[in-house]
Amino acid sequence: MSVPVTDARAAHADGVQRLLESYRAVPATASVRLAKPTSNLFRSRAKTDAPGLDTSGLTGVIAIDAEARTADVAGMCTYEDLVAATLPYGLAPLVVPQLKTITLGGAVTGLGIESTSFRNGLPHESVLELDILTGAGEVLTASRVEHPDLYRAFPNSYGSLGYAVRLRIELEAVKPFVALTHLRFHSLTDLMATMDRIIESGTLHDVPVDYLDGVVFSADESYLCVGVQTATSGPVSDYTGQQIYYRSIQHDDGATHDRLTIHDYLWRWDTDWFWCSEAFGAQHPLIRRLWPRRYRRSSSYSKLMRFERRFDLGDRLEKLKGRPPRERVIQDVEVPIERCAEFLDWFLANVPIEPIWLCPLRLRDDEGWPLYPMRPQQAYVNVGFWSTVPVGSTPGETNRLIERKVGEVDGHKSLYSDSYYSPEEFDELYGGQTYRAVKQRYDPDSRLLDLYAKAVQRR
């Protein structure tokens, strides 16, 4: 092992014991939930006074094996802490989701994605094994050979089958810097064709590509952001201060180049929560100078958003201006790459939201994952859009419209935000038959909330 693990393992064992004790203290008739200070879920949730499970001992990195390129990590460890522990060894998780407070357990049970996903798939695909506290109150180790049904069904189960206590994940070697090329497109069809070629070949102009994502500002202004790892030192940009990363992408024609440390590249989207910090004034030059740097991060904006929602400040302000309330449209969807330009054309014509994030992915695993059934070997594009629109004549009108279109283009929608599917639709889209069998086996008394109830009904 590369680091001393005795103390970390002992601390983790104590944390697991406290978790189990808190589980056993919950009455059999009460719902079970985690006690956690942060959340990256954006769906409405019913309020509860029920005590949460004690996860205080499950927040750290347990061990890093630099030779085997693996890490044992507690389920509630944030990617910020995980990356801080791996980078000194020249290693990183195969996929590092964009926001610092996303936890490893959360990214696996709720899915995650980033610019390595075109070659490394999704975070759960690099999990070698994981310990799960099931609804039956047992801690079981799941892998491709142990409890493989639970291992396969855990991704996209959102805590309805259990909670990740420990995960052993693969790591990959990384270099100190990332050289970026931003390619502008005037046609979404041309952008998708170039993205598809990079996915298939793994290269751009015969140079291996390590990172790939993109941004759409309008139908005739879109970009691919191509990253290549490098050990060559030199000047680097800093987007944690006055400069704003997503604005640096924009240019007139052709290609521009940039350079970041690997650390700053991994967190390039967090400083401004992609572009959502604009809603709080954090992109205004004067406010930005006064806004302490340590609070320019997604977790700060998330707290402000929860405060706004608690007191309906946004809708009250809209009312004072004589305008209707607004509907939150905060979604990530996966669309087959050959249908993505079609979907984007429709979206830009029908939903007044921009910019839009693009992140290509292809599963590493040919067996697939039943609760989020994407086709192996098929290239998809994650399309992310996060804003509000004026409310329509029915609740969730725009979100429902998007759900229908995603279905038409053979896509899937992530479940971290509001959903409106019928039970039958949900069953078909999210592996209902497999889910019920695994649920019955590992949570026979339904101590944990059902996935449909959690993802759709709790509003």
Between 48 and 316, where is the model more confident? 316
Q: Looking at residue 1, what is its pLDDT?
A: 44
Going by C-alpha positions, the residue among 64, 118, 59 that lies closest to residue 87 is 64
Supply the DSSP symbol for 330.
E
The answer, yes or no, to whether residue 3 has pLDDT greater than 60, is: no
Two tokens at 277? 């910090």
pLDDT tens sequence across 260-273: 999 999 999 999 99
pLDDT for position 427: 97
DSSP-derived 3-state class of residue 343: helix
Render pLDDT for 398-422 as a digit per residue (tens, 0 to 9): 999 999 999 999 999 999 999 999 9
Report the pLDDT value the prediction gives residue 50, as an integer from 0 to 100: 58
Mean pLDDT of 132-146: 96
Q: Give 228-251 pLDDT, tens digit per residue.
A: 999 999 999 999 999 999 999 999
Domain boundaries, the chain: 6-174+442-449
**In this structure, are residues 57 and 19 in contact, taking their beta carbons and an 8 Å threshold?**
yes
Output the CA torsion 352→356→360→363 (10° steps): -60
Q: Which of 368, 331, 334 is nearest to 351 (CA)?
A: 331
Confidence bin at 94 (pLDDT 50/70/90): very high
pLDDT of residue 307: 86
pLDDT in tens, 294-342: 999 999 999 998 888 788 877 787 778 888 889 999 999 999 999 999 9
Q: Give the three-state DSSP class for 24.
A: helix
pLDDT confidence band for 49 (50 / 70 / 90): low
**What does the pLDDT average to over 197-211?**
97
6-174+442-449, CATH topology level: 3.30.465
Give the model's pLDDT for residue 397: 96
User: What confidence tens digit (pLDDT) does each residue in 428-455 have?
Assistant: 999 999 999 999 999 999 999 999 999 9
- pLDDT band for position 60 (cuts 50, 70, 90): very high
The pLDDT mean for the chain works out to 93
Distance CA 448, CA 458 (A): 14
The pLDDT assigned to 39 comes to 57
CB 93 within 8 Å of CB 79: yes
Say if residue 46's pLDDT is above 70: no
Q: Is the pLDDT of residue 167 over 80?
A: yes
- CA dihedral angle for residue 114, residue 117, residue 120, residue 126, rounded to 10 degrees: 50
Question: Which is more confidently placed, 33 or 400?
Answer: 400
Averaged pLDDT, 263-290:
96
Rounded percentage of the chain residues whose pLDDT exceeds 90: 86
Task: Retrieve residue 393's tokens.
Answer: 């004549």
pLDDT at 42 over 60: no
Tell me the per-residue pLDDT of 385-400, one tens digit each, with 9 for 90 and over: 999 999 998 989 999 9
What whole-number percentage of the chain has pLDDT above 70?
A: 95
